[in-house]
Structure 1
Amino acid sequence: MTSAPHPAPVPPALAPGRVEELRTRVRDLFPGVRADLEDLVRIPSVSNPEFDQAHVQASADAVAALLTGAGMPDVQVLRVTGADGRVGAPAVVARRPAPAGAPTVLLYAHHDVQPPGDDASWSSAPFEPTARGERLFGRGAADDKAGVVAHLGALRALGDELGVGVTVFVEGEEEIGSPTFVDFLRTHRDLLAADVIVVADSSNWKVGVPGLTTSLRGLVDLTVEVAVLDHAVHSGMFGGPVLDAPTLLARLVATLHDEHGDVAVAGLVHAPDPAVDLDEADLRADAGVLPGVRLAGTGPLTARMWTRPAISVIGFDAPRTASASNTIAPSATAKLSVRVAPGQDPAAAMAAVRAHLEGHAPFGARVTVTEGEQGRPFQAPADSPAMRSARWAFAQAWGTDPVDIGIGGSIPFISDLLEELPGAAILVTGVEDPDSRAHGADESVHLGELEKVVLAEALLLEAVAATC
Structure 2
Amino acid sequence: MTRDDRPAPTAPTTLAALADAVRDRMPQTIAELSELVRIPSVSWDGFDPAHVAASAEAVAQLLRGLGVFDRVDIVSAPIPGTDHTGQPAVLARREPKNGRPTVLLYAHHDVQPPGDDALWQSPPFEPTVRGDRLYGRGAADDKAGVIAHVAAIRALIDTVGDPDVGIVVFIEGEEEFGSRSFRALLDAHRETLAADVIVVADSDNWTTEIPSLTIGLRGNAAFTLTISTLAHASHSGMLGGAAPDAMLAAVRLLATLHDEDGSVAVAGLTSHEQEVPADDLERFRHEAGLLEGVSPIGRGALLHRVWAQPAITVTGIDAPSVQNASNTLQPSVSVKISARVAPGQSAAEAFEAIRDHLLAHAPFGAHLEFGQVDLGNPFLVDTSGWGADEALQAMRDAWGAEPQLTGVGGSIPFIADLAEVFPDAHVLVTGVEDPESRAHSPNESLHLGVLRRAILTEAVLLARLSERAPATDVH
Q: In the alignment, which residue of structure 2 is the partner of 1:105?
A: 103
Specify the SS of the correspondent of 1:311: strand
C-alpha spacing 1:49/1:372, structure 2 compared with 1 (3 Å): closer
Superposed, 1:113-132 pairs within 5 Å as 113-132=111-130
C-alpha spacing 1:68/1:312, structure 2 compared with 1 (3 Å): same
Count of matched residue positions in the alignment of Structure 1 and Structure 2: 464
> What is the identity percentage for the equivalent residue pairs of Structure 1 and Structure 2?
52
Superposed, 1:35-184 pairs within 5 Å as 35-73=31-69, 74-83=71-80, 84-159=82-157, 160-184=161-185
Q: In the alignment, which residue of structure 2 is the partner of 1:459?
A: 460
Check conservation: 1:56, 1:172, Cα contact below 8 A: yes
Check conservation: 1:163, 1:461, Cα contact below 8 A: no
C-alpha spacing 1:92/1:285, structure 2 compared with 1 (3 Å): same
Greater mean alpha carbon deviation, residues 220-229 or residues 403-412: 220-229
Are positions 1:417 and 2:418 aligned together? yes
Q: Deviations over 1:62-83 (max 9, x none)?
A: 2122112222232222223344
Q: Tell me, in whole angstroms, the C-alpha distance in 2 between the residues paired with 1:41 and 1:224.
A: 34
Are positions 1:376 and 2:372 aligned together? no
Check conservation: 1:222, 1:373, Cα contact below 8 A: yes
Are positions 1:282 and 2:255 aligned together? no
Specify the SS of the correspondent of 2:312: strand
C-alpha spacing 1:452/1:317, structure 2 compared with 1 (3 Å): same
Check conservation: 1:274, 1:307, Cα contact below 8 A: no
C-alpha spacing 1:203/1:6, structure 2 compared with 1 (3 Å): farther
Superposed, 1:114-263 pairs within 5 Å as 114-159=112-157, 160-263=161-264
Q: Tell me, in whole angstroms, the C-alpha distance in 1 between the residues paired with 2:368 and 2:133.
A: 48
Greater mean alpha carbon deviation, residues 282-291 or residues 196-205: 282-291
C-alpha spacing 1:6/1:291, structure 2 compared with 1 (3 Å): farther
* 1:457 aligned partner, one-letter code: E
Specify the SS of the correspondent of 2:221: strand
Check conservation: 2:276, 2:304, Cα contact below 8 A: no
C-alpha spacing 1:201/1:24, structure 2 compared with 1 (3 Å): same
Check conservation: 2:90, 2:172, Cα contact below 8 A: yes
* 2:388 aligned partner, one-letter code: M
Specify the SS of the correspondent of 1:456: helix
Specify the SS of the correspondent of 1:221: strand
Are positions 1:356 and 2:327 aligned together? no
* 1:33 aligned partner, one-letter code: T
Q: Tell me, in whole angstroms, the C-alpha distance in 2 between the residues paired with 1:362 and 1:248.
A: 6
Q: Please identify runs of 4+ aligned residues in structure 1 that moved more than 6 A.
A: none
Q: Tell me, in whole angstroms, the C-alpha distance in 2 between the residues paired with 1:104 and 1:9.
A: 23
Q: Deviations over 1:26-69 (max 9, x none)?
A: 22222221221112212222222423322222222221221122
Cα distance, 1:423 vs structure 2: 1.7
Q: Tell me, in whole angstroms, the C-alpha distance in 2 between the residues paired with 1:88 and 1:148.
A: 19
Q: Tell me, in whole angstroms, the C-alpha distance in 2 between the residues paired with 1:368 and 1:169.
A: 37
Cα distance, 1:371 vs structure 2: 6.2
Q: Deviations over 1:399-450 (max 9, x none)?
A: 1111111111111111111122332111010000111111121111100110
Superposed, 1:283-298 pairs within 5 Å as 283-298=284-299
**TM-score, normalised to structure 1's length?**
0.94
Cα distance, 1:175 vs structure 2: 1.6
Q: Tell me, in whole angstroms, the C-alpha distance in 1 between the residues paired with 2:116 and 2:47.
A: 14
Q: In the alignment, which residue of structure 2 is the partner of 1:303?
A: 304
Check conservation: 2:79, 2:184, Cα contact below 8 A: yes
Check conservation: 1:72, 1:94, Cα contact below 8 A: no
Q: Tell me, in whole angstroms, the C-alpha distance in 1 between the residues paired with 2:113 and 2:427.
A: 29
Are positions 1:10 and 2:11 aligned together? no
Q: Tell me, in whole angstroms, the C-alpha distance in 2 between the residues paired with 1:8 and 1:71.
A: 39
Runs of 5+ consecutive residues of structure 2 not aligned to the other structure: none
Specify the SS of the correspondent of 2:277: coil
Specify the SS of the correspondent of 1:427: strand
Check conservation: 1:201, 1:431, Cα contact below 8 A: yes
Check conservation: 2:9, 2:397, Cα contact below 8 A: no
Q: Deviations over 1:69-104 (max 9, x none)?
A: 222232222223344332222221121210121110
Q: Deviations over 1:111-138 (max 9, x none)?
A: 1222222222211122221111111111
Runs of 5+ consecutive residues of structure 1 not aligned to the other structure: none
Q: In the alignment, which residue of structure 2 is the partner of 1:427?
A: 428
Check conservation: 2:7, 2:389, Cα contact below 8 A: no
Cα distance, 1:16 vs structure 2: 5.2
Cα distance, 1:190 vs structure 2: 1.0
Q: Tell me, in whole angstroms, the C-alpha distance in 2 between the residues paired with 1:7 and 1:116.
A: 45
Q: Tell me, in whole angstroms, the C-alpha distance in 1 between the residues paired with 2:322 and 2:117.
A: 25
Greater mean alpha carbon deviation, residues 287-296 or residues 252-261: 287-296
Specify the SS of the correspondent of 2:323: helix
C-alpha spacing 1:9/1:291, structure 2 compared with 1 (3 Å): farther
Specify the SS of the correspondent of 2:126: coil
Q: Tell me, in whole angstroms, the C-alpha distance in 2 between the residues paired with 1:87 and 1:370.
A: 20
* 1:81 aligned partner, one-letter code: P
Q: In the alignment, which residue of structure 2 is the partner of 1:21?
A: 17
C-alpha spacing 1:39/1:325, structure 2 compared with 1 (3 Å): closer
**TM-score, normalised to structure 2's length?**
0.92
Cα distance, 1:10 vs structure 2: 2.0
Check conservation: 1:270, 1:341, Cα contact below 8 A: yes
